């Protein structure tokens, strides 16, 4: 379940957040009563979970080459066991996020709040889930705060500042029977992440259907939401509406 962490900068409880997903992913959430947290090393950004160029240069200067290599290898291993769920902080719907997050025109945006997100993780008892805002920095000039293994996952390059990301993080180690060669951080390369038990009725404030879709698709989303007994409002995107003049 959710647990506060001193390294995670949290927004106000009332902060509005959005998760933009393809319709198939949304169905998966409903079917499993869970959000999917993706392995950090499987994300698009190849810098995900890594320290900056400034940090690596410093290691090169103060550590022996062999030790420096082990340092980078250790952090690469951590990337395999840190799993993330990304949310967009915004008072309003975002046209850019529809474009970035969906692979097709058919999708939905889950509108929630920071408090709802935290409270929705109560059913997930087996892991601690931390939530905080991502900070955006220059990886050629800036350094990431040291002292906690989560810190590299709380920063991204300035190129991603438009994401305004609120990030939920859970660390999942391999189970003893899954380890190979007594390697405690072994992770099956086919494993893309974990499902985190989530109370969707607590999480979801409302559901917005992607813009420029036919009416039958909006009706389908409403039907599916009703089938899974979610008493939530489903509405078309504001971007689908024309001017009232």
Q: Measure the CA–CA gap between 131 and 118, rounded to whole angstroms.
A: 8
Provide the pLDDT for residue 9. 97
- Structure token pair of residue 101: 């997050």
Provide the pLDDT for residue 55. 87
Q: Is the pLDDT of residue 112 over 60?
A: yes
- Burial class from Cβ neighbours inside 10 Å (0-12, 13-18, 19+) for residue 229 reads exposed
Q: Measure the CA–CA gap between 204 and 149, rounded to whole angstroms.
A: 30
Provide the pLDDT for residue 243. 85
pLDDT in tens, 24-78: 999 999 999 999 999 999 998 989 999 999 988 887 766 665 555 555 677 778 8
Helix (H) or strand (E) holding 114: helix 114-120
pLDDT in tens, 191-229: 789 999 999 999 999 999 999 999 999 999 999 999 999
Q: Measure the CA–CA gap between 55 and 146, rounded to whole angstroms.
A: 10
Burial 86-109 (b: 16+ CB within 10 A, else e): bbbbeeebbeebbeebbeeebbbb
Q: Is the pLDDT of residue 180 over 50?
A: no
Q: 106, 236 in Cβ contact below 8 A?
A: no
* DSSP, res 152: G
Residue 166 pairs with which residues in a beta bridge? Answer: 87, 133
Provide the pLDDT for residue 178. 47
What φ, ψ does residue 243 adopt, rounded to 5°?
-70, 145
pLDDT in tens, 121-174: 999 999 999 999 999 999 999 999 888 889 999 999 999 999 999 999 999 865
């Amino acid at each position: 379940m959710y647990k506060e962490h001193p390294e995670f900068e949290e927004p106000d409880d009332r902060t509005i957040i959005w998760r933009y997903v393809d319709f198939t992913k949304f169905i998966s959430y409903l079917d499993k009563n869970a959000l999917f947290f993706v392995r950090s090393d499987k994300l698009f950004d190849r810098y995900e979970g890594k320290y900056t160029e400034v940090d690596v240069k410093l290691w090169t200067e103060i550590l022996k080459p062999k030790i420096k290599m082990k340092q980078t290898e250790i952090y690469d291993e951590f990337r395999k066991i840190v799993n993330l769920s990304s949310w967009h902080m915004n008072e309003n719907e975002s046209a850019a996020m529809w474009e970035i997050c969906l692979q097709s025109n058919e999708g939905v945006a889950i509108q929630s709040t920071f408090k709802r997100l935290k409270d929705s993780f109560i059913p997930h008892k087996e892991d601690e889930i931390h939530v905080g805002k991502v900070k955006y920095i220059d990886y050629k000039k800036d350094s990431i705060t040291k002292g906690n293994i989560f810190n590299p996952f709380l920063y991204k390059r300035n190129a991603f500042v438009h994401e305004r990301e609120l990030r939920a993080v859970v660390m999942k180690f391999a189970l003893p029977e899954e380890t190979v060669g007594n390697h405690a951080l072994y992770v099956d390369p086919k494993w893309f992440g974990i499902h985190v038990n989530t109370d969707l009725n607590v999480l979801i404030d409302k559901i917005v259907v992607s813009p420029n879709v036919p009416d039958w698709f909006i009706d389908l989303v409403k039907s599916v939401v009703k089938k899974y007994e979610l008493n939530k409002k489903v509405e078309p995107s504001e971007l689908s509406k024309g001017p009232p003049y």
